[in-house]
Amino acid sequence: MTIYERNETVHHTVETRNNSTRALEAPDTITVSIYDPCGVALLTDAAMSSSATGQYYYDYDISATAVYGEYRIVVTATKDGDKSIFPEHYIIMPWDSAERVRGLSGIGQDKSISDDDLSRLILDSYKEASHQCYGHHCKERPRQCWTSCNGYNYCINGSNTTFFVKHIEIADWDGDGVVKGYGEQSCGTDVDGYYKDCNGWMQQVLITVQNVVDGRLTVTKRDGTAIPSTAQGLYLTYYTKSCSYTTDLFRQAVEYLAAHKCLLRFGELERASSADLTAAQNVKYVNPNRMWNQYKKLLKQISVPLIGGVY
């Protein structure tokens, strides 16, 4: 599994062989489908190109607005009515930190920790660091019902569709470069929500983020109409970021956390090169928790102002 960045091209290759002789052999048809982290099909049964007998490839251009996360590739080959499935995965992140993490941890060779395993560790670290770096507000009621200076009523009254979150600034939780509410796009939601109907049942709402700074949202039922006045409450889930958050600090935090996870896993490896054993042990010997301590230090810098101010 490979880590890609936006605007790069996924070059996916596959070989097809005869089940008995294992010789390269062309199927009757061979297609590829690609699914995003939410399971939405980005590409469906596209024909693959052939470079030689039994060797196929497909080049997929990654969007400039692609959601970060793990994508699934499914190649389907058909021969005499029989289907063979070739599944694979790739990851899209803001940056490829594989070499940086290998350098920090001292684990440099693929046979010690494969690229696939390392990619998953980095993605897991990205998600974990995101949870730590952002404030998480779960199932929170919107800002207390109030009337603005122009007399507009921001209550659940059967006609109002504008609501405000209690805490600001709303964060780009999934890191795709835009802050979106549930229903604004097929994948990637930063603000989610439900309302409780008159029977006490929770109903999904559609959300459009109008302003991340003041926390203004447009919230409606799934059919686009206002939440009914009989609703017992509106509940929003979203994230906020601190004033001291920077992309550079966050990237460093992810890389140090991934390096820490590599060293923890390294002790469980059955296959490791002597060079990696020496390098990793040297890193651990100097300070076994150095990567973890640096990660926590960076988190502190991100979560509170570096100089003065109140957050």
User: What whole-number distance in Å separates Cα of residue 152 and Cα of residue 143?
Assistant: 15
d(CA 254, CA 122): 7
Confidence band for 156, pLDDT divided at 50, 70 and 90: very high
pLDDT digits (tens, 9 = 90+) for 160-187: 999 999 998 899 887 777 899 999 987 8
Structural domains of the chain sorted by starting position, each given as residue range(s) with its CATH number in brackets: 3-92 (2.60.40.1930), 98-132+245-303 (no CATH), 136-240 (2.60.40)
What confidence tier does 269 reach under pLDDT thresholds 50, 70, 90?
very low
Question: How far is C-alpha 48 from the chain's CA centre?
Answer: 28
Q: How many CB atoms lie within 10 A of CB 241?
A: 19
Whether pLDDT at 259 is above 80:
yes
pLDDT tens-digit map of 194-239 = 999 999 999 999 999 999 999 999 999 999 999 999 999 999 999 9
Q: CB-side exposure of 233: number of CA atoms within 13 Å?
A: 11
Question: Which of the 8 DSSP states describes residue 280?
Answer: H
Nearest residue to 84 via CA among 164, 5, 15 = 15
The DSSP code sequence of 205-220 is -EEEEEETTTTEEEEE
CA distance linking residue 128 with residue 268, whole number of Å: 21
Q: Give SS3 for 202.
A: strand
Of the candidates 73, 75, 95, 88, the residue with the CA atom closest to the CA atom of residue 8: 95
Distance from C-alpha of 94 to C-alpha of 3, rounded to nearest angstrom: 10
CA dihedral 100, 103, 109, 111 (to 10 degrees): -70
Report the 3 state secondary structure along 242-264: CCCCCHHHHHHHHHHHHHHHHHH
- Tell me the per-residue pLDDT of 128-144, one tens digit each, with 9 for 90 and over: 888 888 888 999 999 97
281 pLDDT tier (thresholds 50, 70, 90): low
CB burial string 221-232: b at 16+ within 10 A, e below: beeeebbeeebe
Q: How many Å separate Cα 177 from the centre of its chain?
A: 12
Say if residues 125 and 251 touch (Cβ distance below 8 Å): no
First to last CA, the chain: 40
- Pair 176, 66: CB distance under 8 Å: yes
Q: How far apart are CA 308 and CA 311, in angstroms?
A: 10
Determine the pLDDT at residue 283: 47
Of the pLDDT bands very low, low, confident and very high (cuts 50, 70, 90), residue 271 is very low
